[in-house]
Chain A
């Protein structure tokens, strides 16, 4: 059995400048935060990243705040009941980050197109709304059978996907919880997949959500989703999220980052 166990420091080197980085989990749940902290600890972290998430939250806001993100691709960037993601909101208001507007359908069909090996997937989504104006790169096609105009959602590419797991084995087989988000599909389209896991065991034999064959690296990262949750092990840390928002609102994001990533 191939041993794919790496340290966090080794695993983050898979992310190169200009990459599309896909982050797993959903909303404030099971996000790969430990990986993001480690990435931000690098003396020369990779820049010009395209951030790809189904929904983006705290983990992604850190990357935007640190200036590593050129472009975001997600259908929601926020902190759920806690409100706006402060650094993303600020950067987007000032035009400092490029927002490639996505919706649930554009992400789902874009992923499906990649999985099917075709350039696009057709859908009725967006027709009549202004989304096509916000995404001039997205084209429409005519259904050859009915003549109906449909949106042709382009295939989505991902260089490195990072997913936080409850448990993984050394070969990369990983068990998530039932809040899957788009993790199984995200891992399937990504060129490389990093699994960070609360626990690493020698061999998992059942109930695996990500088969090890698609996984490049396994990292032991206990409490690796904090302050987002990792059900059933721990719930989200609301007071930390409130503190984060307050610190950012006071213009002290850099101090916050330094406290978690060492004197960068």
Chain B
């Protein structure tokens, strides 16, 4: 059986720097997979390659068996792979609800004329988008903030809105880059619950970069460790916790 997402021998070179060297990974349906490693290990670069933010120098990326490497970001996202970034990248000058509507642009009637004339089909699509947005605002507990400017939300709320914004695109795989960064322990445990909930309720696969080891060990089905751009280890949380190479990379040699 083929995997949901499968990357083979991914390479990314910036001038003389080999930021990602022969990283392979796969994610199956309904799986939560984490990528961990020291700062600067190339985790985010892997994400950037997978989502079309960078064009990988070499390697093959398949999503549902289809090659997606080299495709522009919007096409990859339309196929069902969406992501967040390390820092919050909401449209801060737009309202919460507008953030969720922008993400659904492709579901809407794309004709400019239909938009200007507000045809029946356009209005129907728009109201479906609105319903979906409302549904996801409920899921992340932000419904009462729908008309706030996104930039005025508290940090933890902005993080949740980003996840909702990914979810309205109805993805098959969501990639979260350090979603717990800057969250307090309470917010982190809420996030833990939200991610598991997404997987269980919406058949979603999750690929996660995270430094919060408690979160990673709690929710991951499998973990990949990268160090200095190269794969170091992979396995279940227990295997990783007991892997001497991983301990050495994180804590340094004796």
Is chain B a partner of chain A in the same complex? no
